[in-house]
Amino acid sequence: MQTAEIQRRWLNFFEQRGHTVVPSASLVSDDPSLMFTVAGMVPFVPYLSGLVPAPYPRATSVQKCIRTNDIEEVGKTPRHGTFFQMCGNFSFGDYFKEGAIRFAWELLTTSEEDGGLGFDPADLWVTVYEEDDEALALWKQYSSLPEERIQKLGKDTNYWSTGQPGPAGPCSEIFFDLGPEYGIDGGPATDDDRYVEIWNLVFMQYQIADVNSKTDFTILGELPKKNIDTGMGLERVAFIKQGVQNMYEIDQVRPVLDRAAELAGKTYGENHDDDVRLRVIADHVRSGLMLIADGVTPSNEGRGYILRRLLRRVILSMRLLGVEGASFGELFPASRDSMQSAYPEVASGFDFISRVAYAEEKTFLRTLASGIQILDGAISEAKGGAGSVTGETAFLLHDTHGFPIELSLEIAEEAGVSVDRAVFTQLMQEQRDRAKADAKAKKGQRADLSVYKELRGLGETQFVGYDALNHESRVLGIVVEGAPTSEAREGEIAELVLAETSLWAESGGQDSDQGIIVGEGFEAEVLDVQKPVPGLFVHTVKVTFGSIGIDARAETRVDADYRRGATQAHSATHIVHAALRDVLGPNAHQAGSYNKAGYMRLDFTHSEALSQATKSEIEEISNLAVRSDYEVVTREMGLDEAKSLGAMALFGEKYGDRVRVVDIGGAWSRELCAGTHVSSSAEVGMINLVAESSVGSTNRRVESLVGMEAFQSFAAERAIVQQLSGGLRVPRAEIVAKVEDLSAQLRAAEKKIASLEAARLAEQVPTLLQSAERVGAVQFVAADLGKVGSADDVRGLVIQLREKLGSEPGVVVLAGTVPGDGAGKPLVVAATTASARELGIKAGDLAKRGAQALGGGGGGKPDLAQGGGTDPSQISEALTQIRRLIEG
């Protein structure tokens, strides 16, 4: 049974039993505490927790999920995958244990011919929480399982909670028995891999508090509405129904594995290490495909870092299989073809997906090449010294260049040296400890969203700011320092929830409005407006006069000048986006934006820097659109109708069934957007594109000033031009030529000075050679050159002196002060002859010792090295320390 067919049967089964079919949410979670959607229930958390009233009594979905906490186990076990799909059925105060158990047993054991999944009851086991006699009795009633195949287990396995105060409850898990050839008898209680968990039924019925651990908490009582949250692992059911060994061999994953094996000239099933690598490749390519399809692009932080890590693990795994060149052009199309029947968007968006993936591969292959050069150098040093690559080098390769320790070990082993694994492990642990401490600190800073539960239960905040800047409303709730209260007093920072508001809450790339909230006997300055949970506007204010109480009449007043600037900037974002697509083509998709009064920032998919001519063309098209005074029309309609009209739905954005469509010049710019806009393009005023930069291997960013801010920027530049024209005594049109002429004269003068400085230093060679003295077994030349032009001059002189020493053991160390703050910056340069290095004297060690005396650091190769510091007065001491090191 194909994976897509299992998905279809699941949704049909529950739809026929009164469940609303809810499409999969994005892998990018709405929950601010989560990076990704990590479970099928995540999109339903506001309903399950009671934070937001559920729009339907029961629902079903097949949710896309990403988990990376066990990424190192991928490929090693039959069940660990980063991307997976969770089939879920949910009840929000509707049916409870009886319905959940009855539905689960019916779907699993109904024959395939009758629309079920066709499991043999003889292969199934069930676990229940040891104190949940109700669930045990229901399993006996609705299933044909003998009592010995319904096992009671404790809180550590069969009690669900988020790990935080809130909803919790017992759960019941369903397992498939793979058979005696896979392990010992005894059921799931043995915790043996023979028994595969395929479905978990969570009975959310209690409110808990005082949570100290997974098993140590206080049950406060039953929830007013008991909920059902279940999850069946689609991949797990698929590998069982398809008769394969693991999730990597199912129809949605195996084609990528086979293509990787073919490229590497390997046969799957012949070598354990190769098999693990092939499974990693198959899993991570699919995960990368689905993440990019949901708008994630590679970067060095957050979600983008996770995607980058997955893609790089694919490249490294291919390399360990012997494939050193690019392979994504073969692997990603294989994954697309396997997934498009379930997710058509991976085919329709493949042009974007492939450009992102291929660009990342190209970039990392270059990075990999430079990392291998570092490792090769470390191996050469190891062969000439300690016989092992340092743990610090291995960690640098892992942390900076993305090398897994396995790759360093393999390459080093082939070269006949080892790697200091103990130091590497220690550094990795220190990094993990820092990451945990950082995560804990960030977790402690998050607001407890439960404080808004009752407020959201009163209904959605109605935004009326499209049509009115001032609006009288009513205070529904007040929160001070994270706790609900009945009053906010003068001088306090408080959060206000109103029934309606004209103040825009930050969203869709548009910053929140500025303004005030006033009422009888009070006034408050609005500092921020946010939507911590869907549908709820929370106004952060400073009470500047009087006090505010619950139910008080309150008027929201938007700062008209700020709103005008914000609408100008938001409409300018749409205009620049359309201009970008005009110039660069339809592949230049918006990948993020931010706008506020007078400023807009737009990220877009493109892998190359824009030339000055291209930037000028985009700016010109944008301002021509402003001058054309296009009508800006905003309409509300269904999502499908909007897409049929060609409205752009942007990657990574989430849309409801009803959407707002903003047209500028008709179809010239037509986008889904809930923000506030001008009524005609001329109102934007002026667009001044001030910056263009990279925000990743596949994304660029343009920044523009808008309206009066754009004019003020041009006016400031005009003043600078006038100053230059007067100072240089040339007409404005000749400024560039004059500056270029002066720059050429300056470069010529600097070159002449450098030549004279080099000649001056070269004249000192005979004197310095005569100053050589024997220290131990080597000829030692050392001197303080005083003030020098540059470090390059010192290095050149050091190399000349070393050559003059010939074949005998010799060391040259010169110090000096290069231009810098105050008295300048001290530096020390050391060089050794080949015969000195045979005695174990390394220039890197000498430079490091000297730099330490100067209050800095240094190092380098055994033949030539350099160090620097902050205290020129310690140059004499630095030379003394180097001499002592040689003596030793």
Binding residues for Zn(2+): 570, 574, 673, 677
Report whether 635 contacts 466 (CB < 8 A). no
Give me the residues paired with residue 827 across strands.
816, 868
Supply the Cα-derived Rg of the chain in whole angstroms.
34
In the annotated binding site, the residues are 570, 574, 673, 677
Report whether 405 contacts 419 (CB < 8 A). yes
CA atoms within 13 A on the CB side of 701: 13
DSSP string, 545-588: EE-EETT-EEEEEE-HHHHHHHHHHHHHHHHHHHHHHHHH-TT-
Dist CA 508 CA 570 (whole Å): 10
Closest among 722, 627, 736 to 682, alpha carbons compared? 627
The SS3 call for residue 293 is: helix
CA distances (Å), origin 873, targets 135, 473, 795, 883, 884: 81, 71, 21, 18, 19
DSSP string, 115-183: TS----GGGEEEEEETT-HHHHHHHHHHS---GGGEEEE-HHHHEEE-SSSEEEEEEEEEEEE--GGGS
Report whether 631 contacts 592 (CB < 8 A). no
Outline where DSSP puts E strands in 615-744.
632-638, 658-664, 669-672, 687-694, 699-706
Q: Is beta strand 778-787 parallel, antiparallel or unpaired with respect to 773-775?
A: antiparallel
Residue 303 CB neighbour total at 10 angstroms: 21
Positive or negative, the CA dihedral 497, 502, 507, 513 is negative
Report whether 589 contacts 293 (CB < 8 A). no
Give, as one character, the DSSP assignment of residue 652: T
Report whether 256 contacts 329 (CB < 8 A). no
Report whether 210 contacts 217 (CB < 8 A). yes
CA distances (Å), origin 534, targets 30, 449, 450: 9, 11, 13
Dist CA 44 CA 55 (whole Å): 11
Positive or negative, the CA dihedral 31, 36, 42, 43 is positive
Q: Which amino acid is at 707?
A: G
Strand order in the sheet with 658-664: 632-638, 658-664, 669-672
Report whether 231 contacts 40 (CB < 8 A). yes
- Tracing tokens 């006034």 back to the chain, one arrives at 523
Report whether 129 contacts 152 (CB < 8 A). yes
Please provide residue 90's backbone torsions phi and psi, each rounded to the nearest 5 degrees.
Answer: -135, 140
CA atoms within 13 A on the CB side of 619: 20
